[in-house]
Chain A
């Protein structure tokens, strides 16, 4: 390795003819290594006098392909550091860094300088300097890299005349100061964390850069995933950008200074204040220690076999839910009509089962893959996106209308079953299975979110087995009727009553739609929910009109076109109203009275203050949560116990996606709601069951575990 300090001393020694006394020599103002020529320079156009600011600078000239680093070096490397030895009355400031360049190295990204760079440092003079010159000494360290890296350092000395101007490097200093990013006066910059990314919003940038793209440099290291693409756009005068967080984020600053290098060469600096809190481990890492995920998980996980059994049972019960029951009961009744052909019945039953099981496996697989990829999701994620809720509401509306007889799909239902059987009954059975799984999926979240959530924290093979068991449970009644024709005889004989029954079944479907509209209302507000109802009305009109079209000819095509346009137009109109947002609508609905909004910081604060804390992790779409909220958590004796033990009540609302809540659930070993946690001072948190009884809550908050 090269030894620049020794070399610089050698050069000085040679120059000064002082070989033999190496330790007493004065250093020069230049250090030359194989890769870098470093020179200490000064700029004092008005000389050195009290009250004046003058500039010192380290000028680094790199040979081609080599670079040194900015204040945030990026994925590797180190910033150049300077240590000054100054006479009394002189104070050096920090390096006033010029805007850096991006320096990609393989898959990594660094920030730094190639070619020539001058790192300026302001020097403030507060009292008279004795003598004819101000003597400054600098110890500097820099890391110079191409692909390989060499740490180098140098000691520099310089005398700046007191009574005459020093302007030899005026041009270089002017260039360096011009290359500094300029603070934008009056700019309003905010950042928030969501979906594992930082979302920046900056207003008040100069009009000249509007609409152009910027290279973005974070001044603080360890926050964002440096090489990840920064998605930026202009919305009128507002510049927005999204930058994925580093998976191994090591800093959680309150404000993020950014340097923006715009296409026109302009370098701007904004400081984005963080409007949301940081998710995950670091946030609470200091005062009160969180439990390790392993501990918490061990507290509450049911055994694997128990989980399998419950999944199977849960699947069977799902058949009775308002979303699945209509589809299934008609399917079963259809089978009894064709009790004769055993082989055909079996093929159909197995295809149906395969459809259900594979759909659940696909859903679980997708979720496991997303979680492995670092997404903060849990079971119930399918209802956290307003788009999904809208799509499910539309699906249930169509099924409901079909059951009510407004229009016919064709042959999903008994009336047309003969014609379909003739075509491809196996495929039909499989797809009916997929449909059953799809209509069941919103119901799994409300009723089995917590149990399935726990399963998701297990090894992949085990958790997939649990989901397969759930699918088998859903398919079980149909499978059973096919397997044991005798059971069919217990079912009512098919007849004209079935038509009435079918229409009656439309009502649970519409009830499900109302529930979905209510969930959407919590996510996006009353305007979005009203827009959904409007869109569903148009969809219903379109479905009815579709059946009224003339049998053929131009008029039929015209009708088709108008209907499609009508539906597409309505949904496009309503789409902006279905953006997740307005958190205050959510909070307003769920928090209030005794309950405060939850945040990891709030829990830490309260615990640090020695207060007992009870947290309710809930969601609008979680029926179990709503049930508990209206029963146990509203019980007078429970409320009295909360009050007597001075328990702070916090509520975390997971109706919409929220990475902070998901991260907290993961730390508690859960990935679905409801979750009830009780913190007693610094003791490990205690998880309650998903359906806590009045006694359970009272016992938990009353016990003194110190």
Chain B
């Protein structure tokens, strides 16, 4: 009897599913929790910002596409508009420390300050775990999370996938649009777009 119950138990367990595991999150799904040190050494978690809109921005000062949006002040303006409406803005660096483009926490903080950016915090994702959890591929790569912790936007900052600064004008800013719609309680019309830029230097 014992053997047969064991057999049944094993059979029952094996019935209960073969789950394929996908790495990254989809829009409409809960955004993965993280625990990452910021440039000042303080631990930052997503759950600490529950109840607020959170924008994640992947950056790399050495990337011409990041420069496009910082030198035209497009990124700073998007950030200011978001923060003025009460959103949290987390800038993320997922460059590995052995990559040429890697900036130390103090250097990265200084670069952002010089550019007039004021993220809520700047996260040093040196091991790339945060980047992998969100499926971040490019710099810049943008995400918007709603107050319930649901991912509502993932993709490019805007609609013109070029490195030309003159293309910032006339492009649709997807992050701004997503925040505006989500904050007004509307569904996000453009919830995903193809991110463009440099590869993240994992």
Task: State whether B2 touches A431 (Cβ < 8 A).
Answer: yes
Bound-state CA distance A247–B20 (Å) is 13
B9 interfacial by beta-carbon distance below 8 Å: yes
Stretch at the interface among B83-91, B119-127, B155-163: B155-163
Q: Please indicate the chain A residues that have their CB under 8 angstroms from the CB of B172 in the complex.
A: none
Q: Which residue of A lies closest to B182 (CB)?
A: A292
Instruction: Name the distance in Å between B37's Cβ and chain A's nearest Cβ.
Output: 22
Bound-state CA distance A292–B2 (Å) is 50
Q: Please indicate the chain B residues that have their CB under 8 angstroms from the CB of A293 in the complex.
A: 28, 150
Task: State whether B191 touches A281 (Cβ < 8 A).
Answer: yes
Task: State whether A373 touches B19 (Cβ < 8 A).
Answer: yes
Task: State whether A395 touches B135 (Cβ < 8 A).
Answer: no
Q: Please indicate the chain A residues that have their CB under 8 angstroms from the CB of B25 in the complex.
A: 247-248, 374
Interface residues of A in 348-369 (CB under 8 A from B): 359, 362-363, 366-367, 369
Bound-state CA distance A407–B111 (Å) is 78
Task: State whether A285 touches B148 (Cβ < 8 A).
Answer: no
Task: State whether A221 touches B194 (Cβ < 8 A).
Answer: yes
Q: Please indicate the chain B residues that have their CB under 8 angstroms from the CB of A149 in the complex.
A: 63-65, 197-199
Stretch at the interface among A30-38, A182-190, A410-418: A410-418
Instruction: Name the distance in Å between B134's Cβ and chain A's nearest Cβ.
Output: 9
Q: Which residue of A lies closest to B10 (CB)?
A: A434
A435 interfacial by beta-carbon distance below 8 Å: yes
A410-B198 CB under 8 A given contacts A289-B187, A369-B21, A431-B9: no
B26 interfacial by beta-carbon distance below 8 Å: yes
- In the complex, the number of residue pairs spanning A and B with C-beta atoms less than 8 Å apart equals 202
Interface residues of A in 130-153 (CB under 8 A from B): 141, 143, 145, 147-151
B49 interfacial by beta-carbon distance below 8 Å: no
Q: Which residue of B lies closest to A143 (CB)?
A: B163
Bound-state CA distance A349–B136 (Å) is 50
Task: State whether A281 touches B13 (Cβ < 8 A).
Answer: no
Q: Please indicate the chain A residues that have their CB under 8 angstroms from the CB of B15 in the complex.
A: 382, 388, 391-392, 438, 441
B38 interfacial by beta-carbon distance below 8 Å: no
| Per-residue A-contact encoding for B174-196, CB less than 8 Å = 1, 0 else | 00000000100111011111111
Q: Please indicate the chain A residues that have their CB under 8 angstroms from the CB of B2 in the complex.
A: 410, 420, 423-424, 427-428, 431
Task: State whether A395 touches B187 (Cβ < 8 A).
Answer: no
Q: Which residue of A lies closest to B25 (CB)?
A: A247
Known: A148-B101, A148-B198, A410-B1. 8 other contacts (CB 8 A): A75-B138, A141-B162, A147-B99, A247-B135, A292-B187, A372-B30, A412-B1, A416-B1
Stretch at the interface among A104-112, A205-213, A477-485: A104-112
A161 interfacial by beta-carbon distance below 8 Å: no
A145-B163 CB under 8 A given contacts A375-B19, A395-B8: no
Closest 6 CB pairs of A and B: A438-B12, A151-B163, A410-B1, A370-B19, A374-B22, A431-B5
Question: Which of B17, B65, B152, B200 is most buried by chain A, counting CB atoms within 10 A of its CB?
Answer: B17
Bound-state CA distance A640–B23 (Å) is 49
| Per-residue B-contact encoding for A429-461, CB less than 8 Å = 1, 0 else | 001101101100100000000000000000000
Task: State whether A107 touches B20 (Cβ < 8 A).
Answer: no
| Per-residue A-contact encoding for B22-41, CB less than 8 Å = 1, 0 else | 11111111100000000000
Question: Which of B8, B135, B152 is most buried by chain A, counting CB atoms within 10 A of its CB?
Answer: B8
Instruction: Name the distance in Å between B158's Cβ and chain A's nearest Cβ.
Output: 13
Instruction: Name the distance in Å between A413's Cβ and chain B's nearest Cβ.
Output: 8
Interface residues of A in 270-314 (CB under 8 A from B): 280-282, 285-286, 289-295
Question: Which of A106, A382, A392, A424 is most buried by chain B, counting CB atoms within 10 A of its CB?
Answer: A106
Please give the residue numbers on chain A whose beta carbons come within 8 Å of chain B beta carbons, in ascending order: 1, 75-78, 105-108, 110, 141, 143, 145, 147-151, 195-196, 221-222, 244, 246-251, 280-282, 285-286, 289-295, 359, 362-363, 366-367, 369-370, 372-375, 377, 381-382, 385, 388, 391-392, 395, 409-412, 416, 420, 423-424, 427-428, 431-432, 434-435, 437-438, 441, 666-667
Task: State whether A428 touches B5 (Cβ < 8 A).
Answer: yes
Q: Please indicate the chain A residues that have their CB under 8 angstroms from the CB of B191 in the complex.
A: 281-282, 285
B202 interfacial by beta-carbon distance below 8 Å: yes
Task: State whether B137 touches A359 (Cβ < 8 A).
Answer: no
A76-B12 CB under 8 A given contacts A416-B1, A434-B5: no
Instruction: Name the distance in Å between A684's Cβ and chain B's nearest Cβ.
Output: 10
Q: Please indicate the chain A residues that have their CB under 8 angstroms from the CB of B162 in the complex.
A: 78, 141, 151
B69 interfacial by beta-carbon distance below 8 Å: no
Task: State whether A248 touches B192 (Cβ < 8 A).
Answer: yes
Q: Please indicate the chain A residues that have their CB under 8 angstroms from the CB of B135 in the complex.
A: 246-248
Interface residues of B in 30-87 (CB under 8 A from A): 30, 62-65, 67
Bound-state CA distance A367–B15 (Å) is 12
A432-B5 CB under 8 A given contacts A147-B201, A366-B19: yes
B132 interfacial by beta-carbon distance below 8 Å: yes
Bound-state CA distance A151–B164 (Å) is 8
Q: Please indicate the chain A residues that have their CB under 8 angstroms from the CB of B64 in the complex.
A: 1, 149-151
Q: Please indicate the chain B residues that have their CB under 8 angstroms from the CB of A666 in the complex.
A: 28
Bound-state CA distance A449–B169 (Å) is 51
Task: State whether B199 touches A76 (Cβ < 8 A).
Answer: yes
Q: Please indicate the chain B residues that have their CB under 8 angstroms from the CB of A377 in the complex.
A: 17
Task: State whether A434 touches B12 (Cβ < 8 A).
Answer: yes
Bound-state CA distance A370–B200 (Å) is 27
Instruction: Name 17 interchain pairs, CB-CB below 8 A, sorted by A.
Output: A1-B64, A1-B67, A76-B196, A108-B202, A149-B63, A150-B64, A151-B64, A247-B24, A247-B25, A248-B27, A250-B155, A370-B21, A372-B30, A373-B20, A377-B17, A388-B15, A431-B8
* Residue in A145, A222, A381, A428 whose beta carbon sits within 8 Å of that of B198 in the complex: A145
Bound-state CA distance A105–B192 (Å) is 23
Task: State whether B22 touches A373 (Cβ < 8 A).
Answer: yes
B100 interfacial by beta-carbon distance below 8 Å: yes
